Each structure stands twice: as structure tokens, then as C-alpha cells.
Amino acid sequence: MKILGIETSCDETAAAVVEDGTRILSNQIASQVEIHARYGGVVPEVASRQHILSIIPIIKEAMAKYTWEDLSGIAVTIGPGLAGSLLVGVNVAKAIALAWGLPITGVNHLEGHIYANWLDSHNIDFPVVCLIVSGGHSDLVLMRGHGDYVVLGRTRDDAAGEAFDKAARILDVGYPGGPAIERAAKGGTASIQLPRAWLKGSSDFSFSGVKAALLRLVEAGKVSSVADGAASFQEAVIDVLVTKTVAVAKERRVRCILLAGGVAANGLLRKRLVERSPLPVLVPKSILCTDNAAMIATCGYYRLKAGKTSGLDLDVFPSLKLA
Ligand code: KG4
Ligand code: ZN
């Protein structure tokens, strides 16, 4: 079963063909990072206009070796994300589905991030705990089966990726913030004491405190080395993410931990989680952690197999939740 995945929820225009939910046949991503860099963040109106320019060429590239008759269905991100951006992908997906009589399924972007793990591994035994860390979310999710989620914890303020992006602005290390902090941290040590919000008794996260503490120290001239600032910030955020994820996984007696979302591309997070977890940890390749359409196609494969098709009245849901 070959599924065409389409992803336009934020600032990446992406299309991919995935076979049987695991094998990537093509995976095209047009990043808008350089366009938004001059504003220091994603400008929604600019993003949706750029999606319009990129979507057809990107789908053509993804489909270069395949015909529409080769496909068994189309999977498209319907939310959460920017309304104007999501609309571009959803409307193109519906047009293809209508023209070729293909089934279409709307995919939750966060569910897509989780399914990036199926692109590398075929046999994942449930239940699992997933840590989804992206620009907009830090969710701890119990997954009991395909499409069966219980959200155990979420961020109460800034998402992990958002915190990285803001810290990068405070330390002036570049855009996008996550990779910039990781690069800057390589030359430093985590020698600056920054607070950790443990929120005892809860699986929720909070990262606004550590960000504010970093800002205060920088303003007071107490961060003499940007590299040490970046390393200390990165260590503080990762310490909380890893400690809470391992605790929840043990408490719920799951089979393994899945890491997902753009922040999962962070080398130290990947390393620390593997080091500190007594359970197996699955982490997708870095390129499959950040936004892509292969993960959407994989999730779509499992949805279509379960009979979860959508009609041509499929709409976008900018604030879509996982469960
Ligand atoms: O999943 P994603 O690509 O888009 C959303 O769904 O939000 O995640 C983007 C977020 C950004 O905040 C970015 O700074 C962060 O992921 N990110 C990283 C790294 N690569 C991307 N954060 C830390 N370290 C990285 N290497
Ligand atoms: Zn994402």
C-alpha cells in the first residue's frame, strides 16, 4: 500500500510516498527557514503564500517515480498548525483525491510525529510512552494501541521547542533556535545554575521559569560565555524532560519509550534519554523528527487500514488536540 503524505502545518512544505507504513520511497521537504529568519520567527501570512508556491513542485518531486494509480490513499495534516498553511495542503490533497478517486484521511500533526518511529521500526509493542517535543507542544502521552492515546502531561506555558527558540534569542545565537543552542552548547559546559520546574505530583512541564532565569542572568551580565549559557540551558530543559519521561514510563509499566517532534533532533536529549532509561528507547532519525510528510503518510497508512477515511468536506483544525 503506497500512501502519499502531505504536510503544510507550519513552515515546511513536504510530500512523501511511504509503502506499508514503514518504507520511505520518497521524502521531499521545502523549508522556509531562510525566508522567516529575517523576522526571527514564522510569519503566518508569508508561510501560507510560500506553501502555495512550493506545494505542486514538491508533490511532483515526491511522485517523480510513481503514477497516481500506484497510490492507495492520501494522508494530509489537518492540525494543529497555522490555519492558512494547513488549508494549502488540505485543499491540494482533496483535489488529488477527487481527481483520482483516492481515499483521503486527515492526520493530527502530533500523531504524525509519533508515527515517525514506525518509519524505522516495524514491531513496536504497546503500551508505550511517547514524549512529543516540538515548537508548539511538550506532551507526555500513553499510547495503548494504534490511534489510542491518553495525554498524561503537557506544558503549562512554553513548549520545549519554543523555550529553545526564546533562549536562542536571549543569547543571540541565531535562528532557528533549537539547532543554534545545540551548536553553541558544544563549546561550553553546563556550569550556570538554572532552575528546574519539577511540578511534583504532575506529569506536566513548565519552561517559562528557566527561560526567565536565563534572561535575568544575561541582563545582569552574569553569563560571560554564550557557550556556557547555551549548555546550561540545554542541560536544564533536557534534565526535566528525561526525568519526567522515565518516571512516567516506569509508573505505567510500558514496553518502551518513543521520542518525537523537532526537539527530538537534539543530540543531547537523545543521548540522555537512552542513558537514563531502563526501558528500550526509540528515536527516529533526526530528519524524521522535524516536520516531514513521511510521518504523515505512515500515520495515514494505519488510519486508512482502520477504515478512518475522511470526506471531501475535510477541514482544518488549527487547535486540534491529540486526545
Ligand atoms: O516538530 P517541529 O519541526 O515543528 C513543530 O511542529 O513545531 O519542531 C520545531 C521545533 C523548533 O522549536 C526548533 O527550535 C526545535 O524544534 N528544534 C530543536 C532542534 N531542532 C529543532 N530543538 C533543540 N535541538 C535541536 N537540534
Ligand atoms: Zn511538528
Kindly report, residue by residue over 233-260, the tens digit of the pLDDT.
Answer: 999 999 999 999 999 999 999 999 999 9
- Assigned C-alpha cell, 82: 497555522
Q: Which residues contact 91 (CB under 8 A, 6 or more apart)?
A: none
- Measured CA to CA, the distance from residue 171 to residue 184 in angstroms comes to 9
284 CB within 6 A, ligand 1: no
Q: Is the pLDDT of residue 42 over 90?
A: yes
Decide the pairing of beta strands 256-260 and 128-133: parallel
CB of residue 263 inside a 6 A radius of ligand 1: yes
Q: How confident is the model at residue 119 (pLDDT cuts 50, 70, 90)?
A: very high
Q: CA 147, 256, 118: angle at the middle one, nearest 5?
A: 50
In whole angstroms, what separates CA 128 from the centre of its chain? 17
Q: Which atom of ligand 1 is nearest to the CA of 160?
A: 12
Which residue puts its alpha carbon closest to atom 19 of ligand 1? Answer: 178
Q: Any idea which residue has 488529488 for its cell?
A: 96
User: Which residue's C-alpha comes closest to atom 2 of ligand 1?
Assistant: 262
Ligand nearest to the CA of 29: 1
| Average pLDDT across the chain, whole number | 97
Is the minimum distance from the CB of 182 to ligand 1 under 6 angstroms?
A: yes
| pLDDT band (50, 70, 90) for residue 205 | very high
Q: Is 264 in the pocket of ligand 1 (CB under 6 A)?
A: no
Q: What is the per-residue pLDDT for 310? A: 97
Candidate of 110, 114, 171, 263 to mutate for ligand 1, largest count of ligand atoms within 8 Å of Cβ = 263
Q: In sequence order, what are the beta bridge partners of 303?
A: none
Q: How far apart are CA 187 and CA 167, in angstroms?
A: 17
Average pLDDT over residues 275-292: 97
CA separation for the pair 208, 254 (Å, rounded): 30
| 265 pocket-lining for ligand 1 (C-beta < 6 Å) | yes
CA 202 to each of CA 18, 45, 109, 140, 206: distance values in angstroms, whole numbers, following the listed order = 38, 37, 25, 11, 11
Show Cβ contacts of residue 243 under 8 Å, excluding neighbours closer than 6 positions: 198, 276
Give pLDDT, residue 123. 87
Q: What does the pLDDT read at residue 120?
A: 73
The predicted pLDDT at position 221 comes to: 97
Distance from residue 261's CA to the centre of ligand 2 (Å):
6
User: Above pLDDT 70, what percent of the chain?
Assistant: 100
Nearest residue (CA) to ligand 1, atom 13: 178
What per-residue confidence (pLDDT) applies to 149? 97
For residues 77-93, average pLDDT: 98
Q: State the distance from the centre of ligand 2 to the C-alpha of 322, rounded, in angstroms.
A: 13
What is the atom index within ligand 1 of the atom nearest the CA of 12? Answer: 3
Write down the pLDDT at residue 299: 98
Element holding 229 (H helix, E strand) = helix 226-251
Under 8 Å between Cβ of 239 and 196: yes
Using alpha carbons, select from 59, 87, 86 the residue that is nearest to residue 74. 59
- H or E element that contains 107: strand 104-108
User: Angle 226-251/177-185 helices, nearest 10 degrees?
Assistant: 110
pLDDT at 323: 79
Q: With cut-offs at 50, 70 and 90, classify the pLDDT of residue 44.
A: very high
Probe residue for ligand 1, chosen from 162, 235, 290 as the CB with the greatest number of ligand atoms within 8 Å = 290
Q: How many CB atoms lie within 10 A of CB 25?
A: 18
Task: Provide DSSP, 34-51.
Answer: HHHHTTTS--HHHHHHHH
